[in-house]
Amino acid sequence: MRAAATRHLCPLAASLPQSTRFSSRMAAPAPATASAAAADPGTAYKLLLSCPTGLPRARVSVKFDNIFDRIPHPDTALEESISEIWNQRLERNPSLYNGTKFRPQEIGIMGHQADEEDLACVSERVSQEMFEGIIREVVEETGVPASSLTDPVFIGVSRREMNVRPTAFFFTKCGIDSSGVNELYSRAQDGFESTKLYAVSVIDVSVSHYAVATKLEMIMIPRLEHPDGI
């Protein structure tokens, strides 16, 4: 079974003292592509980067620097409302934020670090965490064991138009057939984060650039309709 997985970049940035920017070596950026979500502008997004053949972790790097920090909104009231809304959501769903979810300690973040040499090391660790973290997310949200998954490859980045939230996409193969995956999914640790698991025949999945962009759009629309996960 093959699967495409996503990882929002904002949670990572929010959990660390500084934000991140992602760059890929030897990958040609694809033109920004608008989605076909005309019926609901809230689901509109742009495909910023498409890598049809996939990039292994050795060809993907992260530049970790405070110049990519989130810029506060000029409207003070709106900026202050962020914490208020967040607290309201926590009251409705206490498990929404797990203190260990984003695991900053796993990439060496124990506090604020300003030393350039330290930041270079952290950038390398963040690069690795992007790939290791997506494996953990697949395991936690689908229930399949990590041993059944191949090392993920990076296949692109999209950005929602409404709140400009970026999302990174990864592709991995699973050694378990679809019926087995569905059975594991029914009792996954974080299965509540999903609304549905789709199984698509390999025959229907082309490796062409157009097909990859189309598959990303198929994945993005339900995720944008259900921002807490699919």
pLDDT band at 146 (very low <50, low <70, confident <90, very high): very high
Cα 44 from chain centroid (whole Å): 17
Question: Does the pLDDT value for residue 69 go beyond 90?
Answer: no
Q: Is the pLDDT of residue 193 over 60?
A: yes
18 vs 215, higher pLDDT:
215
Structure tokens at 92: 């409705």
pLDDT band at 32 (very low <50, low <70, confident <90, very high): very low
The span from the CA of 180 to the CA of 162, in Å, is 37
Q: Which of 10-19, 23-32, 157-166, 171-180 has the highest mean pLDDT?
A: 171-180
What's the length of the chain?
230
Name the residue type at position 176. I
User: What does the pLDDT average to over 61-78?
Assistant: 86
- pLDDT given at position 25: 38
CB–CB of 208/216 below 8 Å? no
Average pLDDT over residues 77-94: 87
Contact assessment for residue 144 and residue 174, using Cβ atoms and an 8 Å cutoff? yes
Query: Tokens at residue 23, please?
Result: 């760059």
Residue 10 has what pLDDT?
36
Give residue 67's pLDDT: 85
Residue 103: helix, strand or coil by DSSP?
Answer: coil
Would you state the structure tokens that stand for residue 76, as one six-digit string? 């003070």
**CA proximity to 21, closest of 58, 54, 51, 62:** 62
User: Which residue type occupies 21?
Assistant: R
CA 171 to chain CA centroid, Å, is: 11
Q: Which of 22-36, 88-102, 210-224 has the highest mean pLDDT?
A: 88-102
- Name residue 62's beta-bridge partners: 22
pLDDT band at 198; cut points 50, 70, 90: confident
Q: Looking at the predicted structure, is the pLDDT value of residue 12 above 50?
A: no
**Rounded mean pLDDT of 73-91?**
89
Q: Which residues pair with 5 in a beta bridge?
A: 170
Residue 13 has pLDDT above 50, yes or no: no
**Distance (Å, rounded) from C-alpha 184 to C-alpha 142?**
7
Which amino acid is located at 24 in the chain? Answer: S
Taken in order 60, 64, 65, 68, the sign of the CA dihedral is positive
